[in-house]
């Protein structure tokens, strides 16, 4: 992160934010098969955003919400990088975050773009162990039309032979008292953790 991002979103705040996302975007891990090539794509049903209010863990369907409603996720695993394209009905204009988990045969990483109170940042950390921030010059995120595109160098992931990817998007209202969430790999959300893709081998 930049010095400004580090000052505003230090690791304690980041862990708190990830905890909020874990609650809002929780889904059961899936055990799917192996993708046949370096590219993998999945269509997510439109209109499957759910809303959480306050401490209530009840997910209320919000089928009319377009901002943050993911309808397709595509992953490309090349010899040099992993690219995750998250296409939504509309890009959120309010505070929001997009969260990708990248699991390799050895470990797991969290990649998150966030926008809060006018500040934007991109965080990359290990999911397991201390959850420490990982230095990676080869990470980036950009908006392309109605898609968010994450890119991370394979060298930052330990040059894995394969990856599994999970993606979630959350949009916040009223100082995060209301959270509108969508898991990109299933209808609505589940109970415990982001659903993961099949194994996507290096191309």
Q: What's the domain count of the chain?
A: 1
Q: State mean pLDDT over 155-173.
A: 95
- pLDDT tens-digit map of 77-124: 999 999 999 999 999 999 999 999 999 999 999 999 999 888 999 999
How sure is the predictor about 132, in pLDDT bands with cuts at 50, 70 and 90? Answer: confident
What is the predicted pLDDT for the residue at 10? 41
pLDDT exceeds 80 at position 60: yes
Mean pLDDT, all residues of the chain: 83
| Alpha-carbon radius of gyration of the chain | 16
Which is nearest to 95 in space by CA: 196, 12, 9, 163? Answer: 9
Selected residue with higher pLDDT from 6 and 34: 34
159 with 171: CB under 8 angstroms?
Answer: no
Q: What is the CATH number of the domain that holds 183?
A: 2.60.40
What is the predicted pLDDT for the residue at 5? 33
pLDDT exceeds 60 at position 6: no
pLDDT exceeds 90 at position 163: yes
Single pTM value for the model: 0.81
Burial of 97 (0-12, 13-18, 19+ CB in 10 A): buried
Q: State mean pLDDT over 48-70.
A: 91
Contacts of 153 (CB under 8 A, 6+ apart): 80, 81, 136, 137, 138, 139
How sure is the predictor about 12, in pLDDT bands with cuts at 50, 70 and 90? Answer: very low
State which residues form the domain around 153. Answer: 3-201
What is the predicted pLDDT for the residue at 77? 97
Q: Which two tokens stand for residue 186?
A: 């299933």
């Amino acid at each position: 992160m930049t010095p400004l991002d580090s000052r505003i979103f230090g690791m304690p705040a980041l862990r708190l934010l990830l905890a909020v996302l874990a609650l809002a975007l929780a889904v059961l891990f899936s055990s799917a098969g192996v993708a046949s090539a370096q590219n993998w794509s999945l269509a997510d049903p439109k209109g499957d955003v759910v809303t959480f209010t306050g401490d209530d863990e009840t997910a209320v369907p919000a089928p009319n919400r377009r901002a943050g409603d993911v309808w397709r996720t595509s992953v490309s695993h090349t010899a040099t990088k992993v690219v995750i394209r998250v296409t939504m009905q509309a890009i959120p204009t309010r505070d929001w975050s997009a969260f990708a988990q990248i699991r390799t045969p050895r470990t797991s990483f969290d990649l998150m773009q966030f926008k809060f109170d006018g500040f934007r940042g991109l965080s990359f950390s290990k999911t397991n162990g201390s959850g420490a921030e990982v230095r990676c010059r080869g990470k980036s995120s950009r908006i392309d039309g109605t898609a968010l595109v994450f890119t991370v160098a394979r060298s930052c992931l330990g040059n894995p032979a394969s990856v599994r990817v999970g993606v979630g998007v959350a949009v916040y209202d009223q100082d995060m008292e209301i959270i509108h969430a969508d898991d990109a790999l299933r209808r609505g959300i589940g109970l415990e953790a982001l659903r993961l893709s099949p194994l996507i081998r290096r191309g």
